[in-house]
């Protein structure tokens, strides 16, 4: 056991905005966390671990000590009252037996859409551990989406309706290798053309009583809705014609209205294509996990805001459209 006088892990802790604006590749992460000490400091600086801990008995700051027999080689300690606490206490990693270095790399690989087989090979971790962590990360994603629900459309500052494309598509409908038919999953989706903000949800059917509450929940009044011209979108007129203006595209013929090139469903169609490619690659034959994989796709493709430091302008980047828009307001 080695004592030192450190009461804090990192000299400076990043604030929430700094953490959100930071980007880091797998190579950069590996370079910055080459040993356990640098990994612990990197995590504390970004609020993934507590940067300091007070003694549960006297309330005074504990000291960070080295204990080589412990998994992370470091624990918090108050010598006066024989109080000790794991540096993982209260963190996302508290119950895991994986090393912090491997956990950081695993999470980064999951964000970058590495295959589970690649994670196993790179980290030398068994399949069950990788599967459990990927499921755990999707649970966190689902919680975050529920905490901050997305709303689309409305009226822009210039008074014009914001365009929202609506559509539906069937996922994972195919035959098993033994020739048995797989029913697949109907998904209803909407994407805001201006920003790329997107919503998707699995639906049991395409009836009015199923879709009407979803449209009311997702899409703000004043929006211009462009939708596939399938029969269920007659319900837009039934909701309240004053709330939305709408146009339709006959998907079977073309995804662009020949009479008005602005009336098209190209963005939602592109989104379906990307989502299906990802889910087919990751989800395989797991129907039970379909919704969680869909939520993972939505979370990873959420547009994010960058700030120009000198001008204060907000740059709104959409991975789906691969475009950056200048927005006003905070």
> In this predicted structure, what is the pLDDT of residue 54?
96
Query: Can you give the pLDDT at residue 321?
Result: 42
For 26-42, the pLDDT digits (tens) are 889 989 999 999 999 99
3-state helix, strand, coil in the chain (%, to 5): 35, 20, 45
What's the whole-number mean pLDDT along residues 259-267?
58
Comparison of pLDDT for 59 and 312, the residue scoring more: 59
- Which domains occur in the chain, in start order? 16-147 (no CATH), 152-269 (3.30.420)
pLDDT at residue 284 in the model: 58
Residue 165 tokens read as 């494309």
Name which residue leads in pLDDT, 249 or 88. Answer: 88
Q: How far apart are CA 93 and CA 52, in angstroms?
A: 17
| pLDDT reported for residue 317 | 43
pLDDT at position 232 is: 47
Q: Is the pLDDT of residue 289 over 80?
A: yes
pLDDT at 267: 84
Per-residue model confidence (pLDDT) at position 202: 92
Average per-residue pLDDT for the chain: 80
Q: pLDDT grade, residue 257 (50/70/90)?
A: very low
Buried b (16+ CB within 10 A) or exposed e, 241-258: eeebebbbbebeeebebe
Contact 73, 110 (CB under 8 A): no
Give the pLDDT confidence of 301-328 residue by residue, as tens digits: 887 543 333 334 444 444 444 444 444 3
What per-residue confidence (pLDDT) applies to 287? Answer: 79
Q: How far apart are CA 218 and CA 110, in angstroms?
A: 28
Contact 255, 264 (CB under 8 A): yes
pLDDT tens string 112-152: 889 899 999 999 999 999 999 999 999 999 999 998 889 99
Does 4 score more than 90 pLDDT? no
Please give the structure tokens belonging to residue 58.
């006297």
| CA dihedral for 314, 264, 277, 142, sign (positive or negative) | positive
Q: State pLDDT tens for residues 143-182.
A: 999 988 899 999 988 888 898 888 888 887 765 555 555 6
Segment 61-114, tens digit of pLDDT: 999 999 988 899 999 999 999 999 999 999 999 999 999 999 999 999 999 889
At residue 75, the pLDDT reads: 94
pLDDT average, residue stretch 218-226: 87
User: Is 298 in contact with 196 (CB distance < 8 Å)?
Assistant: no
CA angle 68, 56, 76 (to 5 degrees): 20
Query: Do 201 and 168 meet the contact criterion of CB atoms below 8 Å apart?
Result: no
Higher pLDDT, 115 or 235: 115
Tokens read off for 329:
């307001």
pLDDT number for residue 176: 52
CA 284, CA 94: separation in Å to the nearest integer? Answer: 30
> Greater confidence, 329 or 12?
12
How many residues would you count in the chain?
330
User: For residue 324, what pLDDT is reported?
Assistant: 44
């Amino acid at each position: 056991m080695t004592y030192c006088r450190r009461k804090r892990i990192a000299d400076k802790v990043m604030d929430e905005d700094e953490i959100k604006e930071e980007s880091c590749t797998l190579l950069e992460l590996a370079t910055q966390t080459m040993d356990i000490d640098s990994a612990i400091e990197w995590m504390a600086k970004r609020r993934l671990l507590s940067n300091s801990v007070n003694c549960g008995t006297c309330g005074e700051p504990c000291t960070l000590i080295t204990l080589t027999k412990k998994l992370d080689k470091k624990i918090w300690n108050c010598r006066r009252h024989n109080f000790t606490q794991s540096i993982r206490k209260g963190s996302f990693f508290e119950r895991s037996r994986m090393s912090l270095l491997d956990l950081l790399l695993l999470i980064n690989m999951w964000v970058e859409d590495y295959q589970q087989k690649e994670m196993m090979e790179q980290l030398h971790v068994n399949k069950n551990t990788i599967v459990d962590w990927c499921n755990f990360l999707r649970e966190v994603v689902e919680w975050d989406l529920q905490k901050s629900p997305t709303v689309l459309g409305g009226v822009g500052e210039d008074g014009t309706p914001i365009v929202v494309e609506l559509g539906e598509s069937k996922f994972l409908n195919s035959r098993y290798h033994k020739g048995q038919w797989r029913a697949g999953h109907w998904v209803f989706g909407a994407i805001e053309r201006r920003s790329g903000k997107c919503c998707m949800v699995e639906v049991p059917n395409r009836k009015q009583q199923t879709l009407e509450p979803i449209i009311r929940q997702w899409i703000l009044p004043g929006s211009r809705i462009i939708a596939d011209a399938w029969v269920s979108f007659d319900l837009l007129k039934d909701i309240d014609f004053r709330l939305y203006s709408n146009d339709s595209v006959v998907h079977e013929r073309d995804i662009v209205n020949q009479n008005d090139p602005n009336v098209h469903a190209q963005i939602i169609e592109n989104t379906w294509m990307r989502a299906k490619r990802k889910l087919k690659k990751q989800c395989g034959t797991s129907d039970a996990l379909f919704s969680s994989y869909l939520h993972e796709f939505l979370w990873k493709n959420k547009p994010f805001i960058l700030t120009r430091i000198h001008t204060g302008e907000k740059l709104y980047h959409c991975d789906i459209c691969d475009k950056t828009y200048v927005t006003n307001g905070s």
